[in-house]
Amino acid sequence: MNFILGFYTGIVNGLREVWAHKFRSFLSMIGIILGVAALVAMVGVVQGMIQNMRIYFENAGGITRIFVEDMEPPVEQQPFAHLSPGRTYNDALAIGAGSTFIETVAPQLNIGWRRIQYGREREHAPLRGVGPERLSTMNQGIDEGRWFGDLDMEQASLVTVLGGHVVRDLFEEGESPVGQKVKIQGKMFTIVGTLEYLGTDEDRRRNPYYWQNRVVYIPLTTAMKRFNGDEKINELNIFIQDVSVMQDAIAQVENILLQTHRGIRDFQVRTMEEQLAEFKKLERSFTLALGGVAGISLLVGGLGIMNVMLAVINERIREIGVRKAVGARGYDIFIQFVAEAVVISVLGGIIGMIVSVGLVHLLKSVVTSDEFRIVLSPDAMVAGFFFSVTIGVAAGVYPALKAASLNVIDALRYE
C-alpha cells in the first residue's frame, strides 16, 4: 500500500513538474518521441517491402513451382552449344508428356511492352503469350468472357484477354470489352475475356498487384508465330504435385531437357525454395538493421531523460533534504523520482505514437513508387510505446538512486 501511495504521489508530482517546466520537459521527451516515430516508420517500411515480396512469391507459384533458366554450357560442351535449340515450346510438350511428378507445365513468351489501342484510347502494357494451362497457375480469375482454349492454340487465333487496369483505361465504366477489337502492333485482336481486378483502386500505383493488373495475354502459338517467328520461349514454369517429390521431379525434368537439347546442358532447373531462403534472409537483415537504428534512437531518448532528471535533482536538493528531515525514507525519494521518469517516458511514448501516424502518412504521400509500400503497424506502435516506457524507467533509476542516497545534512546546507 505504501508503494502504491508513494508511486501515485510521484506520478502527481511528475505531472506538476512537466506542466511547470513545459519546454524542459519537451526537450527531455524529444528523444523518446522521435525514437518511437522512427521505430514505427521503419517497421512500416520493412513490412511494406515484405508484403510486396510475399505477394510476388505467391504470384510466382509458391513453393511447388520450379522453373528452367538459360545457362552457359560447360566448357567441354561450348564448341557444340549451337546444336541445342534452347528453350522452346517443344520442351514444355516433352515435360508434360514424359514426367510423372508434374501437375502443370506453363510455358510463356514475354513479348515486351506494346501499345494497345481501342478507337482513340491507347494504353501501353506488357504483352505475354501463354497457353490454356496458365490460368490455373494464376491467382486471378476471369471477370468476363473466357480464357484461351485448345482451338485458339491450334489456329494461332488473334484473340486476347485483358488485365483489369487496361480495361479501365480503354473502356468506359459499364461498357463490355468482350467481343470488341483492339489493335496490338498493327494487328487486330478480338477480346475474348477480361481478368478480375486485384487489390483496391484507391490509388492504382500503390496497389501491390498493379503490374499484374496491367498484363495483356494472347495465345502462345499466336505470340510465337506472329511476333517471334519461331518456337522459342523465355519462361518455362513447372508446377509439381507435392514438395515431397521435388528432387525426383527435378531429375526427370533435367533428363527430358537433355534429350530435347541434344545433350547440351545449356539450362538450369531452379526452385522457389532458393528464393524463399533469400527472402527470409533479407527479411531478417532488414528487421535487425532498421530495428537497431530505431533502438539507438530510443536509447538516446533515454539518455536525454537521465540528463534532465539529474538536472532536476540538482535543483531540488534542499527539497529532498527537507523531506528526509521530516521522516521521508530513501525508498520514498527513490519511488518519487522513478515515477516522474515514468510520467515523462509515458507522455513521450504517447506523443511519439501520434507523431508516428503523421510520419507514416507523410511518407506515403512522398513515396509514390508502385513497388514501394509503407504500412502503419499497430504492433510496432505498441512495441515502440513499451520500449519507450522501459527505457525511460531504466533511465530514471540512476538519478532516483542518487536522490535517495543524499545525506540529509548536506542536502539542507546546499545552496
d(CA 39, CA 47): 12
Give the mean pLDDT of the chain: 80
The predicted-structure confidence for 219-252, as pLDDT tens digits, reads as follows 999 999 988 888 999 889 888 877 778 888 888 9
Residue 105 near residue 68 (C-beta atoms within 8 A): no
Question: How far is the C-alpha of 11 from the C-alpha of 397, rounded, in Å?
Answer: 15
Query: What's the pLDDT band for 412 if we cut at 50, 70, 90?
Result: low
**Selection from 104, 97, 93 nearest residue 66 by Cα:** 104
User: So what's the pLDDT on residue 141?
Assistant: 86
- Contact indicator for 113, 184 with CB cutoff of 8 Å: no
Q: What is the pLDDT of residue 219?
A: 96
Which set of grid coordinates corresponds to residue 5? 501511495
Q: What is the pLDDT of residues 87-107, one digit of tens each?
A: 999 999 999 888 788 888 999
- Distance, CA of 181 to CA of 160 (rounded, Å): 9
Q: Render pLDDT for 106-150 as a digit per residue (tens, 0 to 9).
A: 999 999 999 999 988 899 999 999 999 998 888 788 999 999 999
pLDDT digits (tens, 9 = 90+) for 308-325: 777 777 777 777 777 777
| pLDDT at res. 13 | 64
pLDDT of residue 325: 76
Q: Are 302 and 32 in contact (CB under 8 A)?
A: yes
What is the band of 10 on the pLDDT scale with cuts at 50, 70, 90?
A: low
Residue 161, pLDDT above cutoff 80: yes
Dist CA 57 CA 316 (whole Å): 61
DSSP per-residue string spanning 17-29:
HHHHTHHHHHHHH
CA distance 340 to 355: 22
The conformational region for residue 145 under phi > 0 = left, psi -120 to 50 = alpha, else beta, is left
Cα 90 to the center of its chain, rounded Å: 37
The torsion of the CA quartet 292, 398, 3, 33, rounded to 10 degrees, works out to -40
Q: Are 387 and 295 in contact (CB under 8 A)?
A: yes
Q: What angle do CA 192, 193, 196 make, to 5 degrees?
A: 175
Beta strand extents in 119-204 (DSSP E only):
121-130, 142-145, 159-162, 181-184, 187-195
